[in-house]
């Protein structure tokens, strides 16, 4: 039985590879068949692309959907959203709060000086 942390580990490992990130970038634009995806990665053979897709599938980042004889690969951004919620949002919230506090301080400082121009003197 996998835990949420195990799932996040799979996502981090999958996204730790430049080629897999490139695949995710392509799939973020639109679902692609494996052949179409291979065309966007001309330096890689089909077998290598399929191996990367398998890693992305295991991490839950790619969902294959069969339509007739073709297999379309869809990006599932939910695992990335889970990483954002766990690792990025708490830090971004603090940074945003600090920027808002700075903005308020600067605006209050301007109001406190009566919107006068401040002159700089050199000594």
8 Å CB contact between 75 and 61? yes
Residue at 58 is within a domain: yes
Which CATH number goes with the domain that contains 21? 1.10.10.10
Identify the weakest region by mean pLDDT among 10-14, 39-43, 90-94. 90-94
The SS3 call for residue 71 is strand
Question: What's the domain count of the chain?
Answer: 1
Alpha-carbon distance of 24 to 113, in angstroms, equals: 52
Residue at 28 is within a domain: yes
Residue at 93 is within a domain: no
Residue at 91 is within a domain: no
Q: Please write the tens of the pLDDT for every residue from 69-123.
A: 999 999 999 999 988 888 888 877 777 778 888 888 888 887 655 555 544 444 5
Residue at 44 is within a domain: yes
Q: Give the residue ranges of DSSP H helices in 1-123.
A: 4-15, 18-29, 34-40, 46-58, 78-83, 89-112
Residue at 90 is within a domain: no
Query: What is the domain extent for residue 55?
Result: 4-77
The number of residues in the chain equals: 123
């Amino acid at each position: 039985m996998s835990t949420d942390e195990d799932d996040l580990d799979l996502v981090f490992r999958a996204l730790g590879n430049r080629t897999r990130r490139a695949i995710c970038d392509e799939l973020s634009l639109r679902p692609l068949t494996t052949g179409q995806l291979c065309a966007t990665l001309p330096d890689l053979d089909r077998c290598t692309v399929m191996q990367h897709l398998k890693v992305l599938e295991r991490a839950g980042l790619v969902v294959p959907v069969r339509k007739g004889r073709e297999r379309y690969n869809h990006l599932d951004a939910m695992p990335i959203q889970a990483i954002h919620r766990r690792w990025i949002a708490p830090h971004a919230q603090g940074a945003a709060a600090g920027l808002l506090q700075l903005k308020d301080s600067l605006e209050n400082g301007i109001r406190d000086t009566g919107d006068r121009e401040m002159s700089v003197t050199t000594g």
